[in-house]
Amino acid sequence: MKTFLLFSLRFLVGAVFILSGLLKLFPIEPFELNFIDLGVANWQSAPFIARGIIGLELFLGLALIFMQGNQKRVLKWIIGVLIFFSMYLVLQIMRDDHGDCGCFGTYLSMTPLESLFKNLVLIFMSVLVLREGKSFHWRFSKLINVSVLVVSFTLPHILNPIDLISARNLNAEETNFALDVDLINKNAMSSTWEGNLSSGKHIVAFLSMTCSHCKTTAFKMHVLKNQNPSFSFLMILNGKIEKLSDFLADTRSDNLPLLRLPADPFSKLTGGNVPLVLFVKDGDVLRILKLPELNNEELTLLLN
């Protein structure tokens, strides 16, 4: 019974690491943006760092379950990784950050406090297995060990390869029509926007507060605004006012001006397609931007 319990705990800890890594892959952009937002990576290196960390998570999970004779060493690595990320979570809590920690991608939202509790439980389970568990052996152990290493660090690149195509080659959709500024101004709610859409150059994003891709877009705009304070952004949001604080916390986009629109005018302006990001000049829509085109180089060319 004790052997079965310890094996179950080991399997559970390994499965959590594997699940955590896989769920971050789709979409992977929010995870990449975390490293840019923290200042530890740039736009070019973040995709590689993100996939490297996901590979590490997969490796620790698979190694704990499958690798022969190395379970205790792997458990020490797991405990060290959990302690490191728990320290980061404590810093987030001290900064009063109640947004999504991103531990399980966009599929399971957890606050830093909830994630810290999860880490403490995993540390307790890992220490218990480390003290009481015994190593086990498989047939073809060398082949299994090498396979675990190779699969862990190549799988993120296979399942979600890095897009090395420049945003300048995406053939962005060219447009030239007047944005219905009057409809926006007439129906605006909860507005922190002090600009004028009828003059100047702006990036206007129509976002639903319940859409995961919209949250990714808002997070990316937040990072760009931090790096380029002169960029003129506006988020036009649709959704209940009760969801606004969670949306801003999850996307960290409280540094961006916003206004809310009711469902009817929002649908008229977007045609039901969100996220919708527009480059607006003097009230006219000149470009519809895709998510990869939201980058420093492209926006500098448009806005400056």
pLDDT, tens digit only, all 304 positions of the chain: 778 888 899 999 999 999 999 999 988 988 999 888 888 888 889 999 999 999 999 999 999 988 776 778 899 999 999 999 999 999 888 877 677 778 888 788 888 999 999 999 999 999 999 887 666 666 777 888 899 999 999 999 999 998 765 444 444 566 789 999 999 999 999 899 999 999 999 999 999 998 889 999 999 999 999 999 999 999 999 999 999 999 999 999 999 999 999 999 999 999 888 999 999 999 999 999 998 889 999 999 999 8
* CA neighbor of 280 nearest in space, from 186, 172, 181: 181
Domain range summary for the chain, segments of one domain joined by +: 2-159, 167-303
Nearest of 262, 287, 260, 295 to residue 202 by alpha carbon: 287
Instruction: Please state, in angstroms and as integers, the Cα–Cα distance from residue 185 to each residue in 98, 105, 198, 201, 266, following that order.
Output: 31, 35, 11, 17, 12
Pairing of β 276-281 and β 201-208:
antiparallel
The CATH number corresponding to 167-303 among 3.90.190.20, 3.40.30.10, 3.40.50.2000, 3.40.50.300 equals 3.40.30.10
Count CA atoms within 13 Å of residue 253 on its CB side. 32
Please state the pTM of the whole predicted model.
0.83
**Is 206:233 a contact under the CB 8 Å cutoff?**
no
The SS3 assignment for 14 reads helix
